[in-house]
Amino acid sequence: MDAIRFHVEEIRFAERNVALRLPFRFGAATVTACPQVYVKARIRFADGRTAEGCAAEMMIPKWFDKNPALTNEQNFEQLRFALRDAREAYTAEPDAQTAWTHFASNYAALQSRARAKGLQPLVASYGPALIDRALLDALCLHSGTSFAAAMSANLCGIDIAGSGLVDDLSGFDMPAFLAKQSPRNSIAARHTVGLADAIDEYDASPDAPTDGLPTTLQAAVRRYGHTHFKLKLCGNTAQDIDRLQRIARVIDGQAQLVTLDGNEQYADADDFATFLDRMLSTPTLWKLAQKTVFVEQPIRRDAALQRDVSALGKRIPLLIDESDATLDAFVQARALGYTGVSSKSCKGFYKSVINAARCAQWNAGLEKPRYFLSGEDLTMQAGIGVQQDLALVAWLGLSHVERNGHHYVNGLAAAPEAEQLALLRAHPVLYETSDGAVRLAIREGQLDLSSLNAAPGFATGKPGAGISWDAMRSVY
């Protein structure tokens, strides 16, 4: 399948407010509501025909930029700037380009302009991350192909050697890597336990919603049959150890795999080492520790890549998330002893593909794979956002992915009924109707991805994917 060149004619944005049914606390931030942005892009081909594609993503405050002096609204405006700046760049290109070169030719300039405005690299990545997904959706719909088939055939035109962006992969056979990927039809939903989450009925909040959905970890395990868990850490060793012991009492008999997420809460490697010593020497955490496969971003981003952490990495694998802010971040992190990196749709799907290729190259010839990619969430919502992220991690071959939107948000309750039903009809095994709304269907801890892998487009199925665009606000 040859890569197709096209012009980007128009990109539009709309927002929908999403209220969380439970507060989501990660690090020092607690989110109770935020906007979800939707992107619609129209592209034009050499023969004059056009196609439209879409994407969606939450605008989570206090993650892309954790400066406590900024308000949530200022965080939202940072992300809106990134969207507008990327739109201006993509639509101003005079020549038709492949999907990949639309991204690659604008990457450095977008990062530079964001830096000049004092914005974090993660903020700069947000705009192209959504636009690239919408462009690929349009391209796949035009070609009548699914995301998985398009990626394996390199419909995007990914050309590492000619990009100048990832010189470490200059000798890597990217087309062969893409071609050998085969999407999984199911994946384990790794359940997030946030810092504000109730563990069992004994610490359940009297203000918890009465919507029929789980409000405690214990109830979530009972309803969804979770076997994979992601446990948030607060950075205070005593508090973290106490909380982990309470969590262990609930999940020890159920957990097959556990990951820990420090969300940058430890000041440096020494601070995190103190926690790790306590965790590994606490008898009641022995089973949990044995099932813990990595720790995600324990050290704050301004210190995480400043010193070697190889000694810690030999005790437990370390993964970068917030520090994975630029295309070369994983290369820097590897030199310091990190072995994992997150795949997160808000950072861009091309970055996930590049980092997966790096893992393949670095693991080649090793007796046991050491470097890995892990699917992580940022309260990804049912609908286009979660569908595209699941299609990506399925194609990458990941066996589990963090999913938390189904727990903190009441499914698609914020969307009009017509939109909910359209998504349910398109993906009847991915969604279900329960407790008054269409929502993800998690059974025995697993998500069925078969309809996503077969759907034309970037997991959308058709132009617009049934989204009620006229029911949203703030088109800019």
The CA-to-CA distance between both ends of the chain, in Å, stands at: 35
pTM above 0.95, yes or no: yes
* 160-183 average pLDDT score: 93
- Residue 110, φ and ψ in degrees, nearest 5: -65, -40
Q: Residue 6 pairs with which residues in a beta bridge?
A: 97
Q: How far apart are CA 312 and CA 300, in angstroms?
A: 15
The fraction of the chain above a pLDDT of 90, given in percent, is: 95
Give the DSSP H or E segment for 294: strand 292-296
Coil vs helix vs strand at 192: strand
Q: Which residues pair with 188 in a beta bridge?
A: 400, 446
Confidence of residue 161 (pLDDT cuts 50, 70, 90): confident
Q: Residue 202 contacts by C-beta under 8 Å, 6 or more apart in sequence?
A: none
- Token pair belonging to 139: 């391209």
| Percentages of the chain per state (helix, strand, coil), in multiples of 5 | 40, 20, 35
pLDDT, one tens digit per residue, over 419-467 is 999 999 999 999 999 999 999 999 999 999 999 999 999 999 999 889 9
Tens of pLDDT, residue by residue over 220-267, are 999 999 999 999 999 999 999 999 999 999 999 999 999 999 999 999
Laid out side by side, the sheet with 7-26 consists of 7-26, 29-44, 50-58
**Residue with token string 């050499």:** 46
Domains and CATH numbers, the chain: 7-144 (3.30.390.10), 186-469 (3.20.20.120)
What values do phi and psi take at 296, rounded to 5?
-95, 125
Q: Is the pLDDT reported for residue 476 higher than 80?
A: no
* pLDDT higher than 90, residue 2: no
Q: In the structure encoding, which two tokens stand for residue 379, read together?
A: 């309260």
Q: In sequence order, what DSSP letters do the residues of 266-290 get, joined into one string? A: BSSHHHHHHHHHHHHH-GGGHHHHH
The CA distances from residue 117 to 78, 81, 120, 123, 181, in Å, are 10, 10, 9, 11, 39
Residue 311 has pLDDT above 80, yes or no: yes
Give the alpha-carbon dihedral of 196, 197, 203, 207, to 10 degrees. 80
The residues near 295 (Cβ < 8 Å, ≥ 6 apart) are: 259, 260, 261, 262, 272, 276, 316, 317, 318, 319
Query: Which pLDDT score is estimated for 204?
Result: 83
Q: How many CB atoms lie within 10 A of CB 417?
A: 12
Phi first, then psi: give them for residue 359, nearest 5 degrees. Answer: -60, -45
Q: Residue 343 pairs with which residues in a beta bridge?
A: 375
For 290, other C-beta atoms within 10 Å of its C-beta total: 10
Predicted confidence band of residue 164 (pLDDT cuts 50, 70, 90): confident
What is the identity of the amino acid at 270? D
Confidence of residue 71 (pLDDT cuts 50, 70, 90): very high
Instruction: Provide the pairing of β-strand 318-320 with 340-343.
Output: parallel
Residue-wise pLDDT for 95-149, tens only, equals 999 999 999 999 999 999 999 999 999 999 999 999 999 999 999 999 999 999 9
Q: Which segments within 318-365 are labelled E, that is strand?
A: 318-320, 340-343
Residue 28 has pLDDT above 90, yes or no: no
